Amino acid sequence: MQRFPFDFNDLPTPTYLVGGWVRDRLLHRQGKYLDLDFVLPAKAVETARKIASKYKAGFVVLDAERQIARVVFPNGTADFAQQMGNSLVVDLGRRDFCMNAIAIECHQLELAETEFLSEQDCIDPFKGIDDLKAQQIRMVNPENLAEDPLRILRGYRQSAQLGFAIENLTRQVLIKLAPTLGSVAAERVRTELGYLLTVPNGSKWIMEMIGDRILESWLPRQHLSLQRFSKIENVIARLLIQFPHLDLFITKNISGDRQALEVIKLAALTDSATTLEPLGLSRAEHRWLVGILRYLPQFIKLLDCDSASAQYKFFQTTLEFFPAIAALAIAEGQPVELIYPWLQRWLDPNDAIAYPVTLITGNDLQKDLGIAPSPKIGELLEIVKIAQVEGKVKSKEEALLLISQTI
């Protein structure tokens, strides 16, 4: 069981734990990383600074005007916010969804995280606990959602994460407010989409958002490949069953903490990387998207080709992100019996076509054949590689003989 990173007796009374941690403990959920949100009637930043100093933790002021600060511990973060309004109920009334507007006075908790929270100890003015039991997401009021349009995406994202439905009136308000998402910073929108792209069943909720025209400001429906996207999540799941080691590729970070999985699904969502440019993708993400979408048609044509040299050349061009291309091809309905052998080659570091060993180097050409340094050396080495994957040369001596006959 996780432990809180500091003693709550160091906090003034009252100090309230609110939001996601309270919700998740009521749902008997626990993440690997603690994410604590505290509300204090006064001196929130000062309290955070004292906690950080005593426990030698990181400290940053997130919003000086609204008096919000963060303390960073090895196993999590703790945000301290000044109470908004003249009471806790007023503060909770400014939150997005009722299930996130539940609080508990933290001195009622022991230092070690309790396995469950008692409903009787919770302050729940908007009946968020009832929503948790009903497995629904319900807004506190429309004005709160309009105040920060990113909350529109959070509603769908939390639906995916928790497996909850969005209450009908709340969903109508989210749809009505959707055009205001265009005013939100691209980085914030991209981050929320990233959460949805990596959570199980997230693709379903992205499809729901597209159907509700929530993303129209960022991803116009006419530029999307919905049929392919609707299949990509199941395709990836099947690939991971067939090739468990692909998990290392799927979960590797492309840019910061953004995983390859996100880029694969974004590529499945559109036929043009240009469509996604408003999201402010990183250079690495953009390079992957452009490469995946550019070489997908070529890969599909190669499925009917058994040329070893053609396969070698394709691998050399796409080695970094090849499984993503394979996944999209399957999502487009291409036969898995033609694609699986390619993936087996990519996964085998000793494969003679995907990873041919080096028989000769540029130094060998200069030393043994007297070839002067020039771009020509690279061309000659490529001739050797192609002959090698075609089985025409198998040793350094044969490679040198081939080059001597070529020049």
Angle at 361 between CA 359 and CA 367, to 5 degrees: 115
The answer for residues whose C-beta is within 8 angstroms of residue 375's C-beta and 6 or more apart is none
HSE of 95 in the Cβ direction (CA atoms, 13 Å)?
Answer: 26
Average pLDDT, the chain: 91
The DSSP letter of residue 74 is: T
- pLDDT reading at 370 higher than 80: no
Radius of gyration of the chain (CA): 28
Angle ∠(16,21,27) on CA atoms, nearest 5: 125
pLDDT band (50, 70, 90) for residue 367: confident
Q: Which of 136-145, 164-173, 260-269, 356-365 has the lowest mean pLDDT?
A: 356-365
- DSSP assignment, residue 340? H
Q: Give percent above pLDDT 70 in the chain.
A: 97
Helix (H), strand (E) at residue 238: helix 226-242
Could you report the per-residue pLDDT of 192-207, keeping only the tens digit for each? 999 999 998 899 999 9
Quick: pLDDT tens for 329-346. Answer: 999 999 999 999 999 999
Q: DSSP assignment, residue 112?
A: B
| Residue at 205: amino acid letter | W
Q: What's the CA gap between 261 and 288, in Å, rounded?
A: 11
Q: What's the pLDDT band for 383 if we cut at 50, 70, 90?
A: confident
- What is the pLDDT at residue 111? 41
Which residues are bridge partners to 380 per DSSP? none
* Helix, coil or strand: residue 139: strand
Tell me the pLDDT band of 89, cut-offs 50, 70 and 90. very high
Place of tokens 């075609």: 390
Q: Residue 269 and residue 253: Cα distance in Å, rounded? A: 20
DSSP bridge partners of 97: 139
Residues 378-382 have a mean pLDDT of: 77
Model pLDDT for residues 52-63, shown as the tens digit of each residue? 999 999 999 999
Interior/surface letters 218-250, b for 16+ CB within 10 angstroms, e for the rest: bbeeeebbeebbbbbbebbeebeeebeebeebb
- Among 111, 96, 81, smallest CA distance to 15 is for 81
For 396-406, what is the mean pLDDT?
Answer: 74
* pLDDT higher than 90, residue 126: yes
For 202, residues 6+ apart whose C-beta sits below 8 A from its C-beta are 157, 160, 195, 196, 233
Which position has the higher pLDDT, 399 or 14? 14
Assess whether pLDDT exceeds 80 at residue 290. yes
Nearest to 121 by CA among 25, 30, 12: 25
Tens digits of per-residue pLDDT, 263-277?
999 999 998 889 998
**54 vs 369, more confident:** 54
| Cβ–Cβ < 8 Å for 82, 40 | yes
pLDDT of residue 112: 43
- As given in the structure block, the two tokens for residue 10 are 């160091």
Q: Is the pLDDT of residue 368 over 70?
A: no
Judge whether residue 159 has pLDDT over 90. Answer: yes
CA distance 63 to 45: 9
Environment class of 141 (CB within 10 Å of its CB; exposed 0-12, middle 13-18, buried 19+)? middle
Cis amide bond preceding 278, omega within 30: no
Kindly give, in sequence order, each residue whose CB lies less than 8 Å from that of residue 184, ignoring residues fewer than 6 positions away: 149, 150
Residues 6+ apart with CB under 8 A from 186: 278, 279, 280
Taking 60 as the threshold, does the pLDDT of residue 38 lie above it? yes
Confidence band for 2, pLDDT divided at 50, 70 and 90: low
Beta-carbon contacts of 327 under 8 Å, excluding residues fewer than 6 positions away, are: 232, 235, 236, 239, 264, 268
Where is pLDDT greater, at 207 or 305? 207
Paired tokens of 127:
């009946």
Estimate to the nearest angstrom the gap between the alpha carbon of 93 and the chain centroid.
Answer: 31
pTM of the model: 0.85
